[in-house]
């Protein structure tokens, strides 16, 4: 048994791997336990690692610091890059779909929390770098923590104690903030029960809506579908055309006539515009969950086709002319879980799922053009992913000199990869770079990265955690972390509800995004029974991560 004891007591490479995997197994298992309908998931790995770090120090067990740093930093890079890669395809389009309002509200929330952080060292004995650690823990932002610690060491490479203090403050603030954010959502729900009830229920679609119009506007008689769409100034798809009791699939050159009935798919925010354009909007609710609008007679079918042919990736629908060539309609495109209304300028990306309506034989012919080979989606494409990680770390290492600040700013290993992930996900297909990964594969890599990050970070700060938290200083830190977590959320949550009249689901989803708190988001999804909070969360999350990283560095430098 001596070999077994030596294996776990000496700071070797096998010992590090064994410790990290064991901590991860225990943390993930305990994280699946639900308390009050909430489970912490991979976040519990952090708490398990803190407990392990305490006993490691107590029994004098040696740890391989270099291996721990490698696991922590590489795990973080994997997490943020794959997150950016997943958000990238729909990131810019989500900003155009009402996302600007959410982004501005998220920015205001972050600024409010930053202002509170600046005040803490002025009115308490908490040191400035400790306050930044508390803010990072209060918003569960591990990238901000790494950014703050790197900046402390960039200013003074010998200031390891200060960098560790940032981590200790983060460790104290983190567990309290996870519960605080959920309690804030509960409070907002209690304050605005009517608004919460109106946001509850299954959503038929995250971005799109369906409406029926009666063509009564004489200015449209004799005009083609393409002329009408271009003149409107916004995107929509005419999916069906009823004429003389028959259903047709309109193409770009289809001419509109008086008394035509059109089924239109559009962005939710544009649905009220069509009555003015076409003359009359019918009262039939095509958005009810029990309405099967996809099949209106026996001749038409609606199917999902996948884009798996490399040579059409990056080409626009105008270039492909699919509607005119095949007489079918592409009504929606699902990309990375986000549903988009296609236009002629929409470029196809590898893995896009197209909802196509038309004659069955013509759809089969189109399927051969698109590829529609599901097995290709499961093939790993490591070169584009590793290239993106390489470029992301390189981007994060570029020093940016700002006048008046002596130390150059860097995006770091958290900021650079997530920005590169978003850019690769959004722009890669236009450059004919295939960055597609299945959601399952992306989630697995992401969870593996954050799990090893939490295990390494918790093991490092756990040694002094108990001695810190159960002291007057630790209790003060905990109280301040709760304040930093709750005050910005409650102020902006009430403001958004009372002044901006924001939808409750979007409001709480945005607040969870600014707190980078997936556990609170899971709670919101469960009580509202739809994905609308996740939509708002995904819209503000990438910008939030970037601002947290940037402001953490700024706070360290100015304070």
Which CATH number do you get for residue 337?
A: 3.30.70.1450
353 three-class SS: strand
Work out the mean pLDDT of the chain and round it to a whole number.
81
Q: Which residues contact 46 (CB under 8 A, 6 or more apart)?
A: 27, 171, 174, 454, 455, 457, 458
Where is mean pLDDT largest: 26-40, 373-387, 490-504? Answer: 490-504
Q: Which of 333, 350, 372 is the last residue of a domain?
A: 372
Q: Let me know whether 184 and 112 are in one domain.
A: yes
Domain extent, residue 143, equals: 66-201+383-558
What digits encode the pLDDT tens for the residues 118-139? 999 999 989 999 999 999 989 9
Q: Which residue has the higher pLDDT, 274 or 245?
A: 274
- Determine the average pLDDT of the residues in 367-373: 86
261 three-class SS: strand
Q: Contact at 8 Å (CB) between 68 and 446? A: no
Model pLDDT, residue 164: 83
Q: Let me know whether 390 and 499 are in one domain.
A: yes
Q: Let me know whether 197 and 212 are in one domain.
A: no
Residue 6 lies in a domain: no
Model pLDDT, residue 336: 62
Model pLDDT, residue 203: 47
333 three-class SS: strand
390 three-class SS: helix
Q: Let me know whether 89 and 152 are in one domain.
A: yes
Percentage above 70 pLDDT, the chain? 88
Lowest mean pLDDT among 21-25, 160-164, 432-436, 529-533: 529-533
Q: Let me know whether 364 and 218 are in one domain.
A: yes
Model pLDDT, residue 219: 87
Where is mean pLDDT largest: 99-108, 304-313, 333-342, 542-551? Answer: 99-108
Model pLDDT, residue 406: 65
Q: Which of 372, 401, 416 is the last residue of a domain?
A: 372
Residue 27 lies in a domain: no
Would the pLDDT of 198 be above 90? no
Q: Find the length of the chain.
A: 559
What digits encode the pLDDT tens for the residues 447-456? 898 889 889 8
What digits encode the pLDDT tens for the residues 220-234? 889 988 888 888 877
Q: Let me know whether 189 and 238 are in one domain.
A: no
Residue (of 63, 59, 53) closest to 27 by Cα position:
53
Residue (of 218, 284, 306) closest to 257 by Cα position:
218
pTM of the shown model = 0.69
What digits encode the pLDDT tens for the residues 235-268? 788 878 888 877 777 877 889 998 888 888 887 7
Model pLDDT, residue 490: 96
CA gap 394, 153 in Å, rounded: 19
CA gap 552, 557 in Å, rounded: 9
Would the pLDDT of 435 be above 90? no
Instruction: Measure the CA dihedral 434/437/438/439, to 10°.
Output: -130
Residue 298 lies in a domain: no
Q: Which residue has the higher pLDDT, 370 or 289?
A: 370
Would the pLDDT of 324 be above 60? yes
Residue 5 lies in a domain: no
359 three-class SS: strand
Model pLDDT, residue 176: 79
Place of tokens 């490399």: 310
Phi, psi of 270 (to 5 degrees): -100, 0
Residue 34 lies in a domain: no
Residue 424 lies in a domain: yes
Q: Let me know whether 315 and 241 are in one domain.
A: yes
Percentage above 90 pLDDT, the chain? 15
Q: Let me know whether 390 and 522 are in one domain.
A: yes
Would the pLDDT of 285 be above 70? no
Residue 2 lies in a domain: no
Number of structural domains the chain divides into:
2
Q: Let me know whether 75 and 212 are in one domain.
A: no
Would the pLDDT of 530 be above 80? no
Supply the DSSP symbol for 371: B
- Determine the average pLDDT of the residues in 420-445: 78
**Cβ neighbours of 205 (radius 10 Å):** 14
Q: Contact at 8 Å (CB) between 502 and 496? A: yes
Q: Which residue has the higher pLDDT, 556 or 275?
A: 556
Q: At what angle do helices 43-58 and 439-461 cross, to 10 degrees?
A: 30
CA gap 535, 287 in Å, rounded: 18
Q: Which residue has the higher pLDDT, 132 or 175?
A: 132
Q: Let me know whether 314 and 275 are in one domain.
A: yes
Q: Which residues contact 415 (CB under 8 A, 6 or more apart)?
A: 143, 147, 396, 545, 546, 549, 550
What digits encode the pLDDT tens for the residues 391-411? 999 998 888 777 766 667 777
Q: Which of 317, 348, 372 is the last residue of a domain?
A: 372
Residue 297 lies in a domain: no
pLDDT grade, residue 419 (50/70/90)? confident
Q: Let me know whether 321 and 467 are in one domain.
A: no
Q: Let me know whether 221 and 177 are in one domain.
A: no
């Amino acid at each position: 048994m001596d070999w077994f004891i030596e294996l776990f007591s000496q700071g070797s490479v096998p010992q590090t791997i064994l410790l990290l995997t064991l901590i991860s197994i225990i943390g993930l298992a305990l994280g699946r336990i639900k308390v009050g309908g909430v489970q912490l998931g991979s976040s519990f790995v952090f708490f398990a690692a803190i407990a392990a770090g305490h006993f490691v120090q107590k029994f004098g067990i040696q740890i391989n610091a270099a291996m721990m740093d490698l696991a922590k930093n590489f795990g973080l890079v994997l997490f943020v890059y794959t997150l950016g890669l997943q958000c990238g395809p729909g990131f810019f389009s989500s900003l155009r779909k009402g996302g600007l309002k959410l982004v501005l509200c998220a920015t205001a929330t972050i600024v409010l929390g930053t202002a509170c952080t600046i005040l803490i060292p002025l009115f308490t004995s908490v040191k400035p770098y400790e306050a930044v650690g508390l803010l990072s823990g209060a918003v569960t932002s591990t990238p901000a923590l790494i950014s703050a610690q790197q900046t402390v060491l960039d200013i003074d490479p010998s200031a390891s104690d200060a960098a560790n203090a940032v981590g200790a403050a983060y460790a104290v603030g983190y567990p309290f903030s996870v519960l605080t954010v959920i309690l804030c959502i509960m409070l907002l729900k209690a304050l605005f029960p009517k608004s919460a009830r109106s946001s509850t229920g299954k959503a038929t679609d995250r971005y799109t809506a369906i409406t029926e119009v009666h063509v009564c506007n004489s200015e449209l008689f004799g005009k083609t579908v393409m002329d009408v769409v271009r003149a409107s100034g916004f995107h929509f798809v005419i999916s069906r055309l009823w004429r003389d009791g028959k259903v047709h699939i309109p193409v770009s050159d289809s001419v509109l006539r008086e008394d035509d009935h059109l089924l239109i798919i559009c962005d939710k925010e544009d649905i009220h515009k069509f009555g003015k354009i076409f003359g009359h909007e019918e009262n039939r609710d095509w958005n009810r969950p029990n309405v099967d609008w996809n099949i209106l007679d026996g001749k038409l079918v609606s199917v999902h086709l996948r884009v798996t042919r490399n040579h059409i990736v990056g080409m626009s629908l105008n270039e492909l002319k699919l509607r005119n060539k095949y007489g079918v309609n592409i009504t929606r495109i699902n990309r990375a879980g986000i549903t988009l209304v296609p236009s002629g300028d929409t470029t196809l990306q590898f893995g896009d799922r197209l909802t196509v309506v038309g004659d069955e034989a013509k759809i089969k012919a189109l399927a051969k053009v698109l590829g529609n080979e599901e097995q290709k989606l499961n093939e790993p494409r490591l070169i584009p992913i590793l290239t993106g990680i390489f470029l992301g770390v390189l981007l994060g290492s570029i020093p940016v000199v700002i006048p008046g600040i002596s130390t150059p700013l860097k995006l770091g290993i958290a900021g650079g990869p997530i920005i590169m992930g978003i850019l690769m996900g959004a722009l890669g297909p236009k450059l004919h770079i295939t960055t597609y990964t299945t959601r399952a594969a992306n989630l697995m890599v992401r969870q593996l990265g954050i799990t090893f990050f939490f295990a390494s970070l918790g093991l490092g700060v756990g040694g002094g955690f108990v001695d810190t938290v159960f002291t007057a200083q630790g209790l003060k830190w905990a109280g301040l972390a709760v304040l930093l977590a709750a005050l910005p959320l409650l102020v902006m949550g009430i403001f958004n509800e009372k002044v901006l009249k924001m939808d409750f689901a979007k409001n709480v989803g945005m607040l969870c995004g600014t707190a980078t708190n997936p556990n609170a988001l899971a709670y919101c999804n469960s009580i509202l029974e739809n994905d609308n909070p996740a939509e708002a969360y995904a819209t503000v999350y990438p910008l939030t991560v970037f601002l947290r990283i940037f402001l953490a560095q700024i706070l360290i430098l100015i304070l």
